Structure formats: C-alpha cells, structure tokens
Structure 1
Amino acid sequence: MTAPTTAPPGAAAPAGTAPGYRPGRTLPLRVEALRQLKRRRTYVMAGLLAALPFVLALAFWIGGGPDGRGNNRITLMDTATASGANFAATCLFVSAGFLLVVPVALFCGDTVASEASWSSLRYLLAAPVPRARLLWSKLAVGLAFSAAAMVLLPLVALAVGTAAYGWGPLQLPTGGALPAGDAVPRLALAVGFVFVSQLVTAGLAFWLSTRTDAPLGAVGGAVGLTIIGNVLDAVTALGDWREFLPAHWQFAWADALQPQLEWGGMAKGAAVSVTYALILVALAFRGFARKDIVS
C-alpha cells in the first residue's frame, strides 16, 4: 500500500493523485509529537526518570552518605555528595547501563508497532502517507523523546544535588577537581555521548517495531538484546572482539570527566554505535517498504 507520487510544480497531477497533494506535508512532526506526548507511558517514563535523583538523595540521607573508606580505591559513587555536579554524575553512572536503555527502546520501539496493534497503520498509509515519510516522522519523534529523557535525568539530578549538597567543583575519584564552570559543559558532553551510545538500541527497537505488531515485543526485544550485549562484553575471553560491541564503550563518557579531556574511547564508541544504528535503520526502511500492511 503505497502513496501516489506528487506532480512537479506547474504540471498536471498524475492519474489518481489529488490536486495539491504533497507527500512531504503528510504526517507533520508536530502532529506525531503531540500524539506521543499525550500517551500515558510518556508521563510514566518521565516521572520515573525524574524520581531517581530524589530516591538516590533519600538513600544517601538515610545511610549517611557514601563511604569508600573500606575500599582501596575511590569510585564516582564515593564522591556523590561532594557537590551537585558530583551527584548528577553519579545519577548518570547508575542509570546509563540499563535505566536509560528503557526510554530509548520504548520511544523508538513503540512507534510503528503500536499503530499496527491498534489496526490504524493501514489507515495512515491510505491517508495517504508515504511509507518513508511515516517512518522518518516516527523515528525523528522517537529520537527526540529519547534525547529529552537523556537530558531530564541529569538536569533534575543537578538541581536536587545542588539543593542538597551545594554548588561546587566536580571532585574526581582519581584526585583533583574540575571547576564548577567547567563541570557543567563536561557533564553535557557526557550526556551527549550517552545518547549517541544508545542509538544502536534505538535502531534495534525501531527495526523490530517494523517487523512485529506487538509493541511489547519490539521494546522487550531491544532491551533484551542490549542486556545480552552487556553480558558478552563481560566475557573477557572474547578479547579484542569486545571492541565491536556497543556495550564495551557505554561508560566511555567518564573520559569527559577527567582533568584532561580524553576523546579516544568516546570516538570509538560513537563510531560503533552509529554504524550499527545506520544498518538497523536501513533494514527497517527496506523491510517496511516491501511489507504487506494488513494491520
């Protein structure tokens, strides 16, 4: 079920094409964004992400703050209450491995599959919305909501941490500190890398969303395969092969919080994630263009 092509300006419309039809104006991004924004799962996910800093601050208040004196090495968790910047970095550390995977898989995996589950997908294409236009609109909105989720957590954490522990330099576990004025741009860079590293999860969820009519299958499949990637990265016997796993570079953002900014790990991780994401998105477009839409 494909949409007819539009006629060039000044030319007669092809047979079967409505006058004034413009494929590029179908399913505007603002319409798709409003549809996704009004869904309950969007507010539930935003609430969970915003609640994490409060839960963590409450845990530190009850437990008396982190204490690394029993360890031979100081970790980022041990410096969590040093300042608002440290608290934001700690929240990013505890959530980057799994929690931030969930909103990305949800917003990108629940797009096309949800339309199919509601039996509204074929009606969208009959509007007519070209298949490529539909996918681009849903992918763009899914990525935008995923980016918003990535930004929401550290922003709330920075506000909560500043209110609880004060505004100050970012104390580094390796020794030394980053001035408060430098800490915020470094944290922004870390958040940006986390988003790029999650593009492979977004691409995987989006591809699965075009292959199934079950949104939970697309979201759960993307989360499950991401977990498998983390497990494989823990298998040291794989040696250098682990460098081809996106999970191997998921904490490379910590290089942004060093006295001297290190780009090597983040550059390699970004290259791996973007490569996988482009392949998965291309597979999604190729498969959806040939799919018989009956939902």
Structure 2
Amino acid sequence: MSKLADRAAPVEVADGYRAGRTLPFRVELVRQLKRRRTMVMGGVLFALPLILLIAFQVGGDPGGNNNRVNLMDTATASGANFAAVNLFSAAGFLLVIPVALFCGDTVASEASWSSLRYLLAAPVPRARLLWSKLAVGLSLSLAALVLLPIVALVVGTAAYGWGPLELPTGGTLPTGTAAQRLLIVVVYIMVSQLVTAALAFWLSTRTDAPLGAVGGAVFLTIIGSVLDEVTALGDWRHFLPAHWQYAWLDAVQPQLQWTDMIQGTSISVTYALVLFALAFRGFARKDVVS
C-alpha cells in the first residue's frame, strides 16, 4: 500500500513554477535574432534585389533576347513588377534555404552545443520547448519571405517608378489590387514552404547535426522538384508539393484563380501536419543526452 501511495503522490514543484511560462516566445526570438546565420540570411535576401537591379542595368531589357512572354519580361515596368519578379526568381530555391535553416537548425543546434539537456532540466517541458522553437522558426521564415518583396518593391520603385502591375499576358492591375495580389503570393509561398519547414523541423529533432537537418530538408525538397519534372509519373505528380509551388502565378493574372492554390495548400498542409506530429511524438520519447 505504501508503494502505491508513493506512486500516486503528486509531483512537487517549486513555488511559482509555471510550465507555460518557460522559454517564452520573446526570449527565444531574441536568441535566434542575435545569431550570425540569421543576420547573414537577412543580408542575402536584402542583397538579391540589388543584384537583380544591377543585372538588368547591365543586360538591358529583360525580354529583349527571347521570343517568349513571361513575368520576367515585365521586370522593369514598375516597382510592383520588380517585386513580383524577385519572388519568381527566388521561390524555386533561394526561399527554401531560410525556411530550412530557421526550422532545421533550431533544435539540432541546441543538441550540438550540448545545451538541449540543460534546457529540459531547467525544467522546460519538451512539448513547450518544441512549440516555442517552432513558432520562432516559422516567424523568422515568414519574415524572410516578407523581407524580399518589401526590399524589392522599394528598390524597384526607386529605379523604375511607382505604377500598376503590368501582366505578361497583357493588361495591368491597379496599384491597390497589385498590392493585394502580392500579399496573396507571399502567403501562398509561405504555405507551400510548410512542407520544407516541417521536414527540417522533424529532422532537427532526430539529429544532433544542424547541417544534416538543414541540408536534408533542402535536398529532399530539390528531389521533389526533380520528380515533378518526370512527366512519366503522370497524375502521381499531383501528390508532390513541388508540383504546386508556382500555383501563385494565378494571382498575377487578370482574373484571380484559386483552384490550383487551394489544391497546393491542401497538399502542403497535410504533409506538414504529419511531419510536425512525427517531430513532437518522436521528441517526446527521445533519450536526450546532449
């Protein structure tokens, strides 16, 4: 009976301890913002519009040397067009890197520094630690996706003036409508990147090597893009998140189309939820020794 009573006795905690107050979002956000990789990635995204501007200044008309009409051909039409072209140029690969970095480095880096066990001994509940790090990782990823078009809009407006968004198929969108469409584009790109974020986060809970988590997520994302180019797969490609990564181009058409973006969102969210669940389930049972 005494053993049963001991097992049933409540666990004593220190006065004032609240599990929900450990590792608050603000503290974790400040920690991640101060890291060098955050500053470097911010600098890269800030520099991309300047690099494209120099390329257009040196190369001249972006559509002058081809017979195809696409979004790139309208890059110098206005600041809004320049921002849209920056998103088009970066969405396929460059924007994958900050998402994988901020979500894949977050837990694995603590393990590589041998500080993860001390955080848990603080004590920070495991679920609380993951929620805090995931929230910060996704917030920084969204900030990276927002930073690029904002800088591009400022640079493009200074170079090419403020004006409507000229569409590659003909016609224009007023500045107000163009701003709304660009916002839709950024939101969709973030949603489509949830798969990369979830994959990187799951790998981060499985390894003590940050480079392995980040590199693994980027590598598998690239593999998905390569498989999407294999037309022999037929309709099986519709189950690949990469198949829908440019569905946001429907937002820069005269008539906004939602069908492909809705399908892409459903695929991305489904994969992301499964991977996030695996991350929390595996970390809850993991023997943390680093």
Secondary structure, in 3 states, of the residue corresponding to 2:94?
Answer: coil
**1:108 aligned to 96, 99, 103, which one?**
103
For residues 64 and 175 of structure 2, the distance between their equivalents in structure 1, rounded to whole angstroms, comes to 23
Unaligned ranges ≥5, structure 1: 1-12
CA-CA distance at 1:14 after TM superposition: 3.2
Structure 2 CA distance, aligned partners of 1:265 and 1:199? Answer: 17
Quote the Cα distance in structure 1 between the aligned partners of 2:115 and 2:259: 46
Query: What secondary structure sits across from 2:196 in the alignment?
Result: helix
User: Which of 160, 163, 178 is matched with 1:165 structurally?
Assistant: 160
1:95-128 deviation per Cα after TM superposition (whole angstroms, max 9, x unaligned): 0000000000000000100000000000000000
- Alignment correspondent of 1:213: 208
2:60 is matched with 64
Q: Which residue identity does 2:19 align to in structure 1? A: P
Letter of the 1:111 partner, please give it. T
SS in 2 for 1:111: helix
Aligned position for 1:8: none
Alignment-derived partner of residue 3 in structure 1: none
In the alignment, structure 2 segments of 5+ residues that lack a partner are: 1-8
How many residues align? The count is 282
Deviations 1:165-193 (A, max 9, x none): 01111111111111112111100100110
More helix by share: 2
Measured after TM superposition, the shift of residue 64 of structure 1 is 1.4
Per-residue CA distance 1:172-229 (angstroms, 9 max, x = gap): 1111111112111100100110000000000000000000000000000000000000
Residue 30 of structure 2 aligns with an amino acid whose one-letter code is L
Q: Kindly provide the amino acid, as one letter, of the partner of residue 52 in structure 1.
A: L
Q: CA separation in 2, counterparts of 1:67 and 1:278? A: 41
Letter in 1 for 2:180: P
Instruction: Tell me if structure 1 keeps the 8 A contact 2:63–2:69.
Output: no
Tell me how far 1:69 sits from its aligned partner: 5.7
The reply on whether 1:118 has 2:109 as its aligned counterpart is no
* Match status 1:185 vs 2:194: no
Q: CA deviation at 1:15?
A: 3.5
- Asked if the contact 1:193/1:270 (under 8 Å) is kept, the reply is yes
Once residues 174 and 22 of structure 2 are traced to their aligned partners in structure 1, the CA distance between those partners, rounded to angstroms, is 48
- Give aligned-pair identity as a percent: 76
Within the alignment, does 1:16 sit opposite 2:12 as a pair?
yes
Code of the residue aligned with 2:51 in structure 1: it is V
Secondary structure, in 3 states, of the residue corresponding to 2:66?
coil
Q: CA deviation at 1:68?
A: 4.0
What root-mean-square deviation, in Å, do the aligned CA atoms of Structure 1 and Structure 2 show? 1.0
Which aligned pairs between 1:1-295 and structure 2 lie closer than 5 A?
A: 14-68=10-64, 70-71=66-67, 73-295=68-290
Kept in 2, the 8 Å contact 1:68–1:74? The answer is: no
1: CA distance, partners of 2:174 / 2:65: 25
